[in-house]
Structure 1
Amino acid sequence: MTLSAKFFAATAFAALMGASSAQALVVYSTTEEGSAARLLAAFTAETGVKTQMVFLSSGPALSRIEAESDRPQADVWFGAPSENHILAKERGLTQAYVSTNAGDLGETFKDGEGFWHAIYTNPLAVGVRTDILEKRGAPIPASWEDLKNEAYKGLIQMPSPQSSGTGYTFLLTLREIMGEDAAFEFMAAMHPNVQTYTQSGTAPSGALGVGETPIALQFSPGFLKLVDEGFPVKVVFPTEGVGAEVSAMSILKGAPNPEEAQTFVDWMTSASGQEQLSVAKTYFMPIRSDVSAGEGVPALDTIKLISYDPAFASENRERLVDRWVDEVISQ
């Protein structure tokens, strides 16, 4: 840990203790730090409930919540994929609260007993530099199947399933759509069109922005940011369907400020709270079908989402990635 990181951790903890005594809502956030800060500021402005945020990545957050379970120091865990919140529920670290907005959320975006609610979702997407494809006389893809087009030879960047959860989500998505054997046949056929498999899940959008590649595959926020910044980028959600990550929040068991925590959950799942995802320029997709992610971005109910069993994904990751290495990149 760097000196600045140590200083941040120390000051954050000191502030956290002060916030607890002042009855501020204490939030352990796993969502991107700047975005989370803007969302919490909007919540305070609208409700008057003060907040104190401590930023932690998923693993450390869960470990800290578990270590503090006898004497909770926070009220809400904000962020991390829903699978992490399912695990927290199983370990008895969170408490049930069914939001007043639960009826407006799809089943994918909430726990049936109220132990967690989704915050946002990031669907997989294909980002396209329309100017580059136009110069090459190549069409804009509309489906996964289109990515096998020989016109795209060496033009696609996507994350590697070996190192990236985004790349693994792509593999799981194709498996759900096509069946396992057909999915691997598809990825092998698409392989000649892949310029590079990146180590990072967000690297393809960076390459798209600088024109290093005209077609990129990852979760949608990086592409939406490019569009917002004026780049000639089109965001494509393939017609067969896309997998997505679902970020969630839970109220911690024994939370010092349960009423404020419930107010926060209700606000974040409301139309007003969800609209802040766009206002705060998070580039996250709202979980409500009646809220737009922003100008030029289709509503969530116009995107075909593909779900898969998180337990299967965890138990079969090594096997599926090994098969990808053997049958796709080792051709």
Structure 2
Amino acid sequence: MTRLRAISAAALYPIAVLGALCSQPAQARPPQSERITVFESKIPQQARLVLHGSSNAGLIRALALDYQRIHPGVEVRYSHLDTQDIYRRATRAGSTSERPDLLLSSSTDLQIKLVNDGLSRAYRSPQTQALPATARWRDEIFAYGYEPVVMVYNSRLLEASRAPQTRGQLQALLAQPDHPLRGKIALQDPRGSAVAYFIATQETKLLGSDSGPMLGALGANRAQLFKRMDNLLDQLSNGDMGLAYGVFGSYALQRIQRGAPLRIVLPRDHLLLVARTAVIPANAPNPAEAQRFLDYLLSARGQAVLASNAKLIPARVDLPDIAPVYAGFDPRGTTLRRTPLGLGFLVYLDEVKRRRFLEKWRSLIEPTATR
């Protein structure tokens, strides 16, 4: 059984809150809502790897423990942070007591900006070169997996026969006379979440002229906005919300595995796949260890663990033996829209464009509350 410890001056979270088993790491909450998990080496420590990531510890745990099966002398320290905090810390050298060796984030735009601003370190290996060209950029940022942006509904509030399979079907459902989802549609607020903002901008690009009517239909049905995806899924699981639009599939799958009465819909008109990316900071204390972990993530073994445990769609497309994560998902489907890495993501980081986008988005949604 792996012995694990938490590093923080704050009090330990209760095990019941974490849902932790005796073999799982303890966690604590230092300042800035940082949650740190330490996976101690299984033999006398030979190396240390510090990760800053936006995935919760439950999604990273299997990766860390499997990596230690290969490299038992490595202590892995994982800091769970919001993507905006990951970016801010990376731009302020020395602002934190422990600089990270590797940044793992779902805000592709912020990761691209770090690379473009010269704050990353290049790395080439057979594993990185095995990625499709659209999944790596400048040999400094790498997509190691993809999150499907899905619809999720509570099966106790919405019958499967009425569950929309496309955005057009969702609009038709919202226009029904009985208004089955009025006041019970959940969205993440792009004003308070870097990831939600990124998803909203990408969806707007994909929908084009259909974006306004889609947002207007959600607003007319009093869509509720949430600052955090976990809170949104809590409300959806307990029946306060009936359907969530534009959330990550991996988070929903976690709830389903715990028994929540949720069902996932992979939209058939288009399925946005958001890259989870890895960047080695220019000032990484242990770049060699970061490179070794990155190679593990991109290996056949690492990609299989990402799929089975972290519920991500593999970034490698040359590994046919990996079991599909989502029922009905076709990795070569014509409706898939992977986010290709490149400078195009910087457009919506411009402050003027950001303000205008959010003002228009807000005017269409007209929420009754932000939670």
TM-score computed with the length of structure 1 as normaliser: 0.78
The percentage of counterpart residues that share the same residue type is: 19
Q: Counterparts of 1:167 and 1:255 in 2: how far apart (Å)?
A: 28
Q: Would you say the 8 A contact 1:115–1:250 is kept in 2?
A: yes
Q: Is the aligned partner of 1:144 residue 2:170?
A: no
Shift in Å, 1:204: 3.2
Q: Counterparts of 2:147 and 2:68 in 1: how far apart (Å)?
A: 25
Q: Would you say the 8 A contact 2:225–2:367 is kept in 1?
A: no
Shift in Å, 1:297: 6.6
Q: Would you say the 8 A contact 1:30–1:78 is kept in 2?
A: yes
Please name the residue that 2:258 is paired with: 229
Please name the residue that 1:30 is paired with: 53
SS in 1 for 2:229: coil
User: Which one of the candidate residues 300, 305, 308 is aligned to 1:271?
Assistant: 300
Q: Would you say the 8 A contact 1:85–1:116 is kept in 2?
A: yes
SS in 1 for 2:139: coil
Shift in Å, 1:227: 2.9
Q: Which amino acid aligns with 1:304?
A: L
Q: Would you say the 8 A contact 2:102–2:284 is kept in 1?
A: yes
Q: Is the aligned partner of 1:130 residue 2:155?
A: yes
Q: Pick which of 60-69 and 156-165 moved more.
A: 60-69
Q: Which runs of 5+ in 2 are unaligned?
A: 1-7, 13-27
Q: Counterparts of 1:85 and 1:29 in 2: how far apart (Å)?
A: 12
User: Which one of the candidate residues 95, 112, 133 is aligned to 2:121?
Assistant: 95
SS in 1 for 2:164: coil
Provide the aligned C-alpha RMSD in A.
Answer: 3.8
User: Which one of the candidate residues 191, 204, 216 is aligned to 2:232?
Assistant: 204
Q: Is the aligned partner of 1:213 residue 2:237?
A: no
Shift in Å, 1:273: 0.3
SS in 1 for 2:145: strand
Q: Deviations along 1:95-122, whole A, 9 cap, x unmatched?
A: 21123123443344222x2112123322
Q: Would you say the 8 A contact 2:101–2:285 is kept in 1?
A: yes
Please name the residue that 1:44 is paired with: 68
Please name the residue that 2:213 is paired with: 185
Q: Counterparts of 2:189 and 2:29 in 1: how far apart (Å)?
A: 33
Q: Deviations along 1:269-309, whole A, 9 cap, x unmatched?
A: 11210221244x33333323443453637354446125483
User: Which one of the candidate residues 294, 304, 308 is aligned to 2:336?
Assistant: 304
Shift in Å, 1:53: 1.3
Please name the residue that 1:324 is paired with: 361
Q: Would you say the 8 A contact 2:84–2:194 is kept in 1?
A: no
Q: Which has the higher helix share?
A: 1
